[in-house]
Amino acid sequence: MKKMWAGRTSGKTDQIADDFNSSIRFDQRMYLEDIAGSIAHAKMLAKQGIIPEEASGKIIAGLEGILADLNSGKLEIDPAAEDIHMFIEETLTDRIGQDGKMLHTARSRNDQVALDIRLYMREENGQIKQLLKDLVAALCDQAEKYKASLMPGYTHLQRAQPVTFGHQLMAYAYMFMRDLDRLGQMEERMNYSPIGSCALAGTTYPIDRVYEAELLGFKAPVANSLDGVSDRDHVVEDLSDLALVMMHLSRLSEELILWSSWEFHFVRLADAYTTGSSIMPQKKNPDMAELARGKTGRVYGDLMAILTTLKGLPLAYNKDMQEDKEALFDAIDNVELCL
């Protein structure tokens, strides 16, 4: 099948190249965001008279049908598709005919994927922030319960001065509250729509970027089209914030591991969150805390991967930037799991 991007080339690539180039195996998780962005784009195109209202209505109905079928499992994502954007547009055209091709008017996959990532991050960070709030609430509950329970405070891992267990737990609560604050600040800086930047230099169509940004819940469009398609600062910043979340979780995990050992014996961990040994029945291992501590290194690696990928890229879009998603998705998944 001839590729959507075929122009100077024949559009016929080797199967190995197709597999190497494809991102469908990981970017398919953004189908909700891709469809939401496409519906907003179709509304804007009709509002501006760029495409007929009737065609816009057919496109929106078709996209809503695709969304319903993907959610129900009636439609499966084709693993042979190049990416989620092409899969949805090709499925739409198959269902509603040539009107489906109008959806790509005044839009490039470059600004489309930049939009999808921001929408996806906004959704996932909402979930992470709620998990952080739940964790802070749990720490506060335990701190209140043990506000008068004395324990040794440490410096250099040597007993130093007496504190209460509640005071110790609240130190972690404040760490996670700072994490919440950082994620909120990142979202504010990210809350600008790149759509309308197109490939890199905008479009000659009379689009309304402000209207489309407002439909999608953004503060405003990005001010510079080159920046709009090449900016991944928000991905780096999010990964940095998530690395800090994991660092705080790792420190708490380390203390739980120490406190639950026979050498300290300050706390007992619930059986539901520990494991035993196949040959040593006396063992009660803090595996969940150890895994959270271990996954911290993995999230650090995700941050270093994206920093290294971006460090030498000229403007504007480069295919290297496809590598941002796997690191981002991996970090988000692991932080949510650990929280």
Query: For position 4, what pLDDT does the model report?
Result: 59
Using an 8 Å Cβ cutoff, are 111 and 195 in contact? yes
Asked if omega into 316 is within 30° of 0 (cis), the reply is: yes
Residue 194's CB is within 10 A of a number of other CB atoms, namely: 27
Backbone angles phi, psi at 295, to 5 degrees: -70, -15
Exposure of 52 in the CB half-sphere (CA atoms within 13 A):
7
Query: For position 297, what pLDDT does the model report?
Result: 98
Query: For position 21, what pLDDT does the model report?
Result: 80
**Each residue's pLDDT tens digit in the chain (339 positions)?**
555 545 555 567 788 988 888 899 999 999 999 999 999 999 999 999 999 999 999 999 999 999 999 999 999 999 999 999 999 999 999 999 999 999 999 999 999 999 999 999 999 999 999 999 999 999 999 999 999 999 999 999 999 999 999 999 999 999 999 999 999 999 999 999 999 999 999 999 999 999 999 999 999 999 999 999 999 999 999 999 999 999 999 999 999 999 999 999 999 999 999 999 999 999 999 999 999 999 999 999 999 999 999 999 999 999 999 999 999 999 999 999 999
For helices 233-259 and 165-190, the axis angle rounded to 10 degrees is 170
CA proximity to 221, closest of 143, 123, 147, 111: 111
Residue 56: helix, strand or coil by DSSP?
Answer: helix
Query: For position 187, what pLDDT does the model report?
Result: 97
Set out the domains of the chain in order of their start, with CATH numbers: 15-105 (1.10.275.10), 110-207+224-338 (1.20.200.10)
Query: For position 227, what pLDDT does the model report?
Result: 97
Backbone angles phi, psi at 35, to 5 degrees: -70, -40
Using an 8 Å Cβ cutoff, are 197 and 225 in contact? yes
pTM: 0.93
Query: For position 59, what pLDDT does the model report?
Result: 98
| Plot region of 273 (φ>0 → left; ψ -120 to 50 → alpha; else → beta) | alpha
Query: Which residues 6+ apart lie within 8 Å of 90 measured at CB?
Result: 4, 81
The set of catalytic residues is 156, 277
